[in-house]
Structure 1
Amino acid sequence: MDTRLEYLTRLRVGQRKAGPAPNKPCLLLAIICEIQAGHITSPLVRIDTRLIARYHDLYELATGSRQMASPWLPLWHLRNDQGPTGPLWSPDFVPELASLSDQLGQPKSLDNLLARFASANLDAELFASLQDIHVARQACALLTQHYLTDDPPALKRLTDYLERALASGEYEKAPESLAGALQESSQQYARSAAFRVLVLDAYDYRCAASRLRYITPDYRYLVEAAHLIPFAVYPDDRPTNGLALTPNLHWAMDNHLIAPGPDHRWHVSPAVDALVPDNGWLCRLDGKPLVLPRNPRWQPTTEALAWRMDHLQR
């Protein structure tokens, strides 16, 4: 085992009736997953939607409760733990609070914490070791077995999730590998997970048609990742073959009632009767601009948009 991982067994964690509190282990597991996905690329860790949502996923698997996750607690208290070269976690406090950091009380919400710092530095040597997939797997096993073994079914759920997350991360780092036929059935979940994460992140969790963006307090998203060319037609899980859509508009597109065109506008099928009041939610979409990712790399391909237009009900 990489000796730098020994520090992960020395976390100062609280206790609950069932065993060690899962807050810090779940946060570190989330960080490991995001490192392996290529989302965290340096010891500087941004406290963003992806990381917090991943933490909620892991906390729910470990405890069965998503609402009690309280991410501000591990984000704050992890600074009291040691890493191979110094503090395991060093918050980047806003300048006016840097000198008062030791006097600040425990934050009471995520917004309260983010008013103090929105990023922190993970111990540089630990970060360097976690970039290796084999070391990352060791770290995940160490954290789960050391802190999260009190509930065997929960441990199994966590272990399965982490294995899939690490496999998905390999695809996220190389999205060009998400096209083409699957070689093994075990690849399907990892590829699908990578497609979902990349698409929703590219659209910043905003619907490409309605522009709606809503994330619940426990970090569930309103939007879904929708294929432009269906996977059954051509197995392409690259994010350029996807859109973020609310469930109702995802359904409407898959049933060819609406289509995004190469002109980057939405088109409504003539089969949708505009005189029926209940159809207004679809008809109002006709001619509206398609919401595009800010990064041109993830914008949908002309071929995929043309496929949708070709299959719009006439």
Structure 2
Amino acid sequence: MSENALTYYLYAFTHLKFDKSKGDAPHKPVLLISILQAFERKLIADSQIYITPELTDLFKTNWNLLVTTNHTLGFALPFYHLKNERGGWWELVPKPGCEIWLQNAGSMKTFGNLNAAVAYAEIDQNLTILLKDEQSRTVLKQALLETYFPGQVFTNPGFPNNHLNDLKREMLEESPAEYIAKLKSLKTRLDPETYQIEVYSRDSIFRREIVRLYDDMCCITGARVSAPYSFSMVDACHIVPFYKTFNNHPANGIALCPNLHRAFDKGAISIDDDYCVIVSTTFVESENSAYNLKMLAGTQIHLPKDEQFLPDLKAFAWHREHTYKG
């Protein structure tokens, strides 16, 4: 990469646009430092910057290490407003149907809205090349620290991430009662944005574990599409809805392709005590369709290899009684 490109981005990173109402806001520098670390740890490998639990956790950790002013932690606004930097080196790619939503900056103030509307951020290819290079990353990170956090001692957060490991342990080991008690406690202690990020991280870990346990495969059809964690053709489906019992253990989940996920949630299908699909007769279908739900009746679902994560038959019984339209 040419010296001109590095010089350009050194200037861009050290002359970021800020809301001056509370002095130079630290949000954008903290986000950029977190992205540099994500490249260093191979969490990001190309020009597409996805919102992931690893990135949000790096952001929170760096915020706590670096920010000494009275600013409130916020991931959504810097991720959104980097698109306004000179040179257009950060562009937001909306999720389908959210194009107009992204045009309204006011709607992007919360993490939940950002995550719902944004597929990923796309960075300039020249910047991508710089961020893949260790020496360039070091120079850019040092410039950010010296410009926005002068005199502060900065230590890279540990890796692998202890917080995300703790969340996974809680999901596997804690009872639903303990889990909901912790969530209620967090909601009273954390600001709304940090709480939204915490809930998002927990949901993402549940989804990743279910997809991993079922080997990226729909447990009914056997359809599998392997892809990076930012994209998958299967969903993690709670058997008993999370809001009912706050049970995030993998035994309360199965992996389904999106159309069957909706059919399961709406009660068009369920699973019996032999782990076989049952199909409701109350739904009208096109008899000529090659994807008729009735064709799935009696299909035995694919199960995780690890027996401790087999879907809970009591949860399926609850689903048949309260959701299934038999």
Deviation at residue 265 of structure 1 after TM alignment: 1.1
* Matching residue's letter, 1:225: A
Q: 1:147 to 1:306 in 2, by over 3 A?
A: farther
Q: 1:230 to 1:147 in 2, by over 3 A?
A: farther
Residue by residue over 1:77-100, the C-alpha shift from the partner in whole angstroms, topping out at 9 and shown as x without a partner, is 77x9xxxxxxxxxxxxxxxxxxxx
Q: How does 1:246-257 map to 2 (within 5 A)?
A: 246-257=257-268
1:121-270 aligned at under 5 Å gives the runs: 146=142, 167-174=163-170, 175-177=172-174, 179-180=176-177, 181=180, 182-183=183-184, 184-185=186-187, 186=195, 187-216=198-227, 219-270=230-281
Q: What stretches of structure 2 of length at least 5 have no aligned partner?
A: 14-31, 56-78, 83-89, 91-120, 149-157, 188-194
Partner of 1:313: 325
| In structure 2, distance between residues paired with 1:201 and 1:239 | 10
- The answer to whether the 8 A contact 2:269-2:278 is kept is yes
1:26 equivalenced with 2:30 (yes/no): no
What amino acid maps onto 1:171 in structure 2? L
Q: Distance in 2 between matches of 1:67 and 1:211?
A: 38
| Cα deviation, residue 16, structure 1 | 8.0
CA distance in 2, matches of 1:191, 1:213: 24
Distance 1:282 1:26, change over 3 A: same
Distance 1:15 1:192, change over 3 A: same
Residue 267 and residue 145 in structure 1: after superposition, are their counterparts in 2 closer, same or farther (change >3 A)? farther
The Cα of 1:309 is off from its aligned counterpart by: 2.4
- How big is the shift at 1:308? 2.0
For residues 9-24 of structure 1, the aligned pairs below 5 Å read 15=6, 17-19=8-10
Q: Is 1:283 equivalent to 2:294 in the alignment?
A: yes
- Equivalents in 2 of 1:195, 1:309: separation in Å? 23
Aligned counterpart for 2:50 among listed residues 31, 48, 57: 57
CA drift at 1:166: 5.8
Amino acid at match of 1:57: Y
Answer whether contact 1:258 1:266 (CA < 8 A) is retained. yes
Q: Is the 8 A contact 1:266 1:286 kept in 2?
A: yes
Structure 1 residues 197 and 146, CA gap change in structure 2 (3 angstroms): farther
Superposition pairs of residues 39-58 of structure 1, within 5 angstroms: 57=50
Cα 1:235–1:52 change in 2 (3 A) is farther
Q: What do the CA deviations read for 1:223-243 (whole angstroms, capped 9, x no partner)?
A: 111100011221101111111
C-alpha contact 2:286 2:292 (8 A) present in aligned 1: no
Where 1:205 maps in the other structure, the secondary structure is coil
Question: Contact between 2:213 and 2:304, CA under 8 Å: does it hold in 1?
Answer: yes
Partners of 1:242 and 1:66 lie apart in 2 by: 35
Q: Is 1:259–1:308's contact at 8 Å kept on the other side of the alignment? A: yes
1:159 aligned partner: none
* Structure-1-length-normalised TM-score: 0.51
- Give 3-state SS (helix, strand or coil) of 1:284's partner: helix
| Counterpart contact for 2:271–2:277, Cα < 8 Å | yes
Give the whole-Å Cα distance in 1 for the aligned partners of 2:315 and 2:139.
42
How many residues align? The count is: 205
Same amino acid, percent of matched pairs: 21
Give the residue type in structure 1 aligned to 2:325.
Q
Q: Distance in 1 between matches of 2:315 and 2:243?
A: 14
CA distance 1:216–1:198, change in 2 (3 Å): closer
Structure 1: give runs of 5+ residues left out of the alignment: 1-13, 32-50, 81-141, 153-161
The residue number in structure 1 matching 2:152 is: none
Contact 2:285 2:292 (8 Å CA) reproduced: no
Could you list the per-position Cα deviations for residues 20-67 of structure 1 after superposition, in whole angstroms to 9, with x for gaps in the alignment?
999973244456xxxxxxxxxxxxxxxxxxx979x9636997952289
